[in-house]
Structure 1
Amino acid sequence: MRRFSLVWKISLSTAAALLLLLIVAGHFVQEQAEATLVRNLDAELENSFKAYESLWSARTEMLRSISLVLSTMSDVRAAFQTNDRATIQDTADEMWKRISLFEALFFVTDGKGDIVAGAGGRNFTRNLQVVRDALPRFPAQSTGFAMQDGRLFEFVVTPVYVQTDGAMELLKVLVTGFPVEDGVVKDLKAQTGGSDFVFLEGTRPVATTLSTENTARIAVQYKRGKGLTHLDLGDREYAVLGTPLRNLAGTQGGDLLIVHNFDAIRRDIDSLRVKLGLTWLVATLAGLCITVFLARRALKPIEELDQAAARITEQKYEARVTEGDDDELGRLARTFNAMCRSIQDAREELIQHEQIATIGRLSSSIVHDLRNPLASIYGGAEMMIDGELNPVQMRRIAGNIYRSSRVIKDMLQQLVDVSRGRTQSPEVCRLSELVEAAVDTQISNADNQGVEIRVRIEAGLEVSVEAGRVERVFTNLIGNAIEAMHDGGIIEISAEAQAEGVLVRVDDNGPGIPLVVRQRLFQPFVTTKRKGMGLGLSICRTIVEAHGGRIWADARPSGGTIFRFTLRVARPEEEPTLAE
């Protein structure tokens, strides 16, 4: 996964938090907006209901007033007292034409509801049930809704009484009303603000401003007595406010439903969602850009610290950062600069100490390596001066002096090469010849100590090494073994080819090395000799490891020490070079 920078981590985290906050806030706003719109819709239904009551009551009150006026007119009473149908009909037509203000109907019936005369263009059956329904309330005027000949009407029933012999006698009954039809409810919708109206007789719609399908579905789902309810028809949702329609007997004969769909609310909510989505997008992008800008400015010192720390890892200790203000980052920058100065000073001091230590180690190594050949030269020269030697002895001592001086010459040449940056390349050598050259430098010391040196190496075994340095390994190991065997002994040098190289063994039957010393044997300045410097085996390890091998020491079960080390075997394509 791609590693994001600290700036982008902070920016993306902030943008994610901002987006989450906007989503929560947007959801809350949407819920509140939807609730507010629904409340507004409910309030609109309540207002529509109040407007309906006002309009309908005004119309009903007009009918009541007209009926009362007619019932008190003397010519109307006189016509009623004649009991002549034609006279009553003529009177009814004349009076209704003068006072009728809207499409309505007017009937004159007897006390049983039989129609005597009528006006208003409606042809009903000869009997009106509404008169019998209102009869228990006589002589009071009654109003209510009723079905007549399959249609819904609101009727006003006004009894007309006459005084006879000190008692009130029912003369006739005036019945006025108006139909509840689709045209009437459409006018009602236009006058009340756009809400739809549905008049029900039971569950059967008798007048509506909605489609037949939606009206039927609403009528089926509507539960009487629930007040303001919400009906979900699947494809559309409606808010419904129901009110009972009272008949002339005072009981509920039907229902008026004031209906308003949620289409406008849904459109408003969808529009709000789009606006909120755009707001989220713009706010998130703007917040991300602002956060990136501010984060880059705030984290610029940290970025500078990161770059300076990277230069420090490249050992460029002169790196520094701008210290800036006196805040946390400014204090961190000053601390970092102080740390860099301390590291730079400490490194320069360390380099000086290492140079001195290197000179010391080099001097110690030179002294260590020169001791044996110088001792051989010194001893041979002393014998030649003080002793009376025959020609054979003289020749042998001269040979030892020559070989020791050659060793010194080679060592000095190696030092010159190293100081000039030149290193000796590995060459293919016969291992037996390297060992013989090392044995020759130590043979006189071995003879003096009574030590026998045995070499058991195949003449054809070849290795790819720096001959001079590997010869020093054998010289040090043989010299150490000779010095440890004061009472004489045997040193045996052998080698065997293995899959990954050559394993060399240098065995002696001397006193051995204590375990405590053997565990630290190849560290500098570790020795068991009273006058030893403890550098020989450390030099051996350095040379062997430089050739890709390793060196270790074990104790012999019968006494003495076994040194083992590995060397790289020569490849067949490499040309052999004779070691001098």
Structure 2
Amino acid sequence: MRKYSIQNKIVVPFTLLFVMVIVLSTFITITLFNKKYDEKITQETVQWLEVIFKTGYQLEIDKVKKTFGVEIVMFSKDNGVISTTLKSGSDEQIAKSVKLQESRRIIERSGRKPVIMDINFRGKPYKVIHYPLVIYDRMYTLMRGMSEIAAAKRQVTWTMILVAVCGIILVALVGHFIAQNITAPVKDLVQITQKVAGGNLELEGKITTRDEIGELTAAFNQMTRKLRQSQQELVKAERLATAGRMAAAFAHDIRNPLSSIKMMVQLLRKRVQPGEENQKYIRSITEEIDRLNDIVKNIMDFARPMKLNLQKDDINSVLLEVLNFMEAKLIHHKITLVKNLSKDLPLIMLDADKLKQVFMNVIFNAIQSMSSGGELTIATKQRGSTILVEISDTGVGIPPENLSRLFEPFFTTKAEGTGLGLTNARQILQQHGGDIEVQSKVGVGTTVIISLP
């Protein structure tokens, strides 16, 4: 049982990461904004103070208040209030509120430089500048109200926080959307996998993306196709094994009676005088017995394990022996033979007798397809480490619906034959490490390509 889904594993870290980034960015932005804004206000207040003293209006405190909107307090040496724009409060309360004693100590340590500080006076924020006067050791204090500025800063801060919250929500939604898009095909693939595991090999995943998920789905589909193919091949192999056992038993039971019949026919031939009409019937019986023996031999070859007698030999020599043997049949059927045999082929390991059987079967099929004559082309060549033998005819061709079934055991379109010729040929070639391929077009002809290592 899974504890966390892939979607959660994607969304949660993704969202947390961006939340941390947004929160940290917002905090830094607000801090820097407040600092810069405070520096600007301080600089502006100092400039006001400089303007007041340069214009000589420092003693006209009411005019200063009206012009700059600030409060002015002038303290004596003993911290008494000489003059002020503040409407109420004792000297001691005012001095304490503006931190006069603390500022005097700082001024003494700093070489009588003005002191700037933030205070709360009567529940309101102020920025205060304590400016020491040379005359009678007095203190000129300017108090700038910061209530409106603080409200503006709070508004900016809350705006930034709101933007950050909206950003977090947006990130969560985007993360959820992205994760859903990623995991939806995976969930579909999981469901299909479960059904395939239940035995339904016909299902395939739908490829909706061109990323790794799409590649995974394509690989899964390829796997199911191979599983289907393996299952079909397994069923086919089981059927072939059963058919092989039955065919072997059938062939064994027929072979012995055929041998007896052939011996009796040979005895009968000796008793019939030459030239008698019965000799013709005896020859026909003998030919049919030989044909039945060939059928039995094909069945036995198909049913029993094949053993090769491999020796180094020249593939062209094997082909020429077969062509010499079948020359009379080619002439009889008015078939022109064209040989394009490569002279530079290396010797390869092969079983000459088995390959002769393959070549004779293919050439015999080609002859049968050219009942009115034609052209048979035999070509050999090397491609890389593979030897290719191409046998082409100009016969009637093979229909597409039959082309895919040529190597099925017992499949044949001929009135006579077992349908095992090409099946046995493929077995022989595969035992050699090679294969056979058939290309055909109706009305044009057929090419059989045999490959050997």
Range into which the TM-score falls when normalised by the shorter chain: 0.3 to 0.5
Point out the structure with max Rg over C-alpha: 1
TM-score by length of 1: 0.35
